[in-house]
Amino acid sequence: MMQRQCAQRTLVFFTLPSFRSELIFALCPDGASLYRMRIPRRAAIETRKAFERQSADPVWMPGKYFSWRINALSIPYTAMTQCKQEHRVINKGLIALAAMTVLGLPLFALGDAPPSLAVVQRFKLPGSAGWDYLSFDPVGKRLFISRADHVQVMDSSSGKMVGEIAGTDGVHGIVLVPELKKGFTSNGKSNNVTVFDLASLKVSRAISLEGKKPDAIIYDSASKHVLAFNGGSNSMSVIDPAAESVLATVPLPGRPEFAAADGHGRVYLNLEDKAQVTVIDTLANKVLNSWTLGACEEPSGLALDPVRHRVFSTCQNNKLVVLDTGSGKPVAELPIGGEPDAAAFDPATSLIYSSNGEGTLTVIKEEDAKHFRVVANVPTQKGARTMALDAAGQRIFLATAEFGPPPAATAEHPHPRPSIVADSFTILLVR
């Protein structure tokens, strides 16, 4: 046996139900060293509980005669500064399980997102119009896709078009309110919000807004209001979705991008021109605070972990900044792919996603409230910058197309985007 220092370990508990002790394996981040120690079951209980409070749910791996109960967590573990390195094979099946088959990962990545994430299907949809936000319908399993002056509705399993919502000039966002069986779109060119029936997709009315160029749109369950964020007038339109009318227009301290609600009367909103996150009290319809996003430039996508009180903002300088929603202070800053737009958070897996127009999907693991790490940069396709997450189905949908030369610049569009090749628009499915 030999002694060796290893300050950062992934600790894995292998529990045999009928045994009175537990084997703990410490896997060093170099992926080359495997340590073990055996401790009494009673002594292990409190240690394991401490780890489980910070780690994800345990993984059960089936065996021939029993199941292994596995907990993995990468933390600085100063209590075990030295342990015995085992050179002989303790148990071939156990070592293989630890090193190769647990989630299909190498030793140092135990507990990460599966590296097999990839584009598994591509669904071609008609039209050469541009696009913006995507919205997933968890009840009907449909994908709503904004397409310049209309919304396409796609069956998420077959990839077939199942409907269309017309008359949405300059549509950006789509929000669904299943409890009212309604959907709402923000129409940036016509300065209104379209209301449609979720079942039939028929439009019931268009709500005119005082605000200009509505862009992001969300539903706040605490106030039971639809909120449209107006990029042309730096304001928020508060809509009663039942009455289909505007209740208030709230001034904002900067140009709004995406927002997320915590379900308890707070909305967190990116301000693109200020590189800030603004906090809004949705019960009083007023701005409470604005927090600086550190080194972030032009934040766009935003996602929220309401349990750990963390906001995730994607920035145009290829960073994702994590803010504490209690203090407003930055917690972490992580590298992401170029040209990011949308962000999403999956509470079941504690994974954060950033869809990047350069053609990647950055995946970040939230280990706990203070520790985050990039676990994958999944190749997608150039232009795949907007995203919708099907959390229950563990599916991610991205939109892109093939591009031609950009049109001539105008005063309204001095930096036009490249033209879209006709009928090349594609929805990518990542899983």
The domains of the chain are located at: 2-109, 119-430
Give the model's pLDDT for residue 42.
54
Superfamily of domain 119-430: YVTN repeat-like/Quinoprotein amine dehydrogenase (2.130.10.10)
- Which residue type, as a one-letter code, is found at position 159? G
Q: Supply 215's token pair.
A: 């862009």
Give the model's pLDDT for residue 413.
81
**Selected residue with higher pLDDT from 101 and 207:** 207
Contact 207, 226 (CB under 8 A): no
pTM, entire model: 0.75
- The DSSP 8-state label assigned to residue 357 in this structure reads T
Dihedrals φ, ψ of 387, to 5°? -150, 150
**Selected residue with higher pLDDT from 109 and 52:** 52
Q: Report the SS3 class of residue 42.
A: helix
Give the model's pLDDT for residue 2.
33
Average pLDDT of every residue of the chain:
81
pLDDT of 48 > 60? The answer is: no
What is the percent of the chain with per-residue pLDDT over 90, rounded to a whole number?
69
Under the banding of pLDDT at 50, 70 and 90, the label for residue 106 is very low
Segment 156-168, tens digit of pLDDT: 999 999 999 999 9
- The dihedral sign for the CA sequence 123, 129, 133, 139: negative
User: Long-range contacts for 36-40 (Cβ within 8 Å, ≥24 apart)?
Assistant: 36/83, 36/84, 36/86, 36/90, 37/80, 37/83, 37/84
pLDDT of 374 > 70? The answer is: yes
Listed residue (349, 276, 359) closest to 313, CA to CA: 276
Dihedrals φ, ψ of 210, to 5°? -75, -35
Arithmetic mean of pLDDT, 403-416: 86
What is the rounded distance in angstroms from the CA atom of residue 21 to the CA atom of residue 39?
6
pLDDT of 419 > 90? The answer is: no
pLDDT of 28 > 60? The answer is: no
Torsion angle, CA of 429/195/346/59, rounded to 10 degrees?
-80
Under the banding of pLDDT at 50, 70 and 90, the label for residue 93 is very low
- The DSSP 8-state label assigned to residue 420 in this structure reads B
What is the rounded distance in angstroms from the CA atom of residue 392 to the CA atom of residue 375?
21
What is the rounded distance in angstroms from the CA atom of residue 287 to the CA atom of residue 285?
7
